[in-house]
Amino acid sequence: MHWPGAGIMLTIGIIIPFILFLPAYLIYQGKRGTRNIKNLILVLFLLVYISAMDALMALNVSKAVIDDAMLVNDHYALLAAYYQGSTQDHLSDLDSADLTTGKILADKTDHLVTEINQLKEALVIEVSKDNEEAVSKESGIDIHKVIGKDNRNVSSHVMIGENRALDLKRSINEYKDFLNEITENQQVAFIDKYLDTDDFEWEGNVYSWEEIHFEGAMLVWAINHLTSLEFRVRMVEAEIAEEIALS
pLDDT 10s digits, 165-186: 999 999 999 999 999 999 999 9
Nearest CA among 56, 45, 43 for reference residue 13: 56
CA 193 to chain CA mean position, Å: 13
Rounded distance, CA 173 to CA 31, Å? 26
Q: Where are the alpha helices (DSSP H) in 60-203?
A: 64-92, 96-127, 154-155, 164-182, 188-194
Instruction: Look at phi and psi of residue 47 and say left if phi exceeds 0, alpha if psi is from -120 to 50, else beta.
Output: alpha
Rounded distance, CA 116 to CA 128, Å? 19
DSSP-based helix, strand, coil % in the chain, nearest 5: 75, 5, 20
| CB-side neighbour CA atoms (13 Å) of 136 | 9
pLDDT, residue 5, reads: 47
pTM higher than 0.75 for the full model?
Answer: yes
Nearest CA among 81, 25, 82 for reference residue 48: 25
Low-confidence ranges of the chain (pLDDT < 70): 1-63
pLDDT 10s digits, 186-206: 999 999 999 999 998 888 889
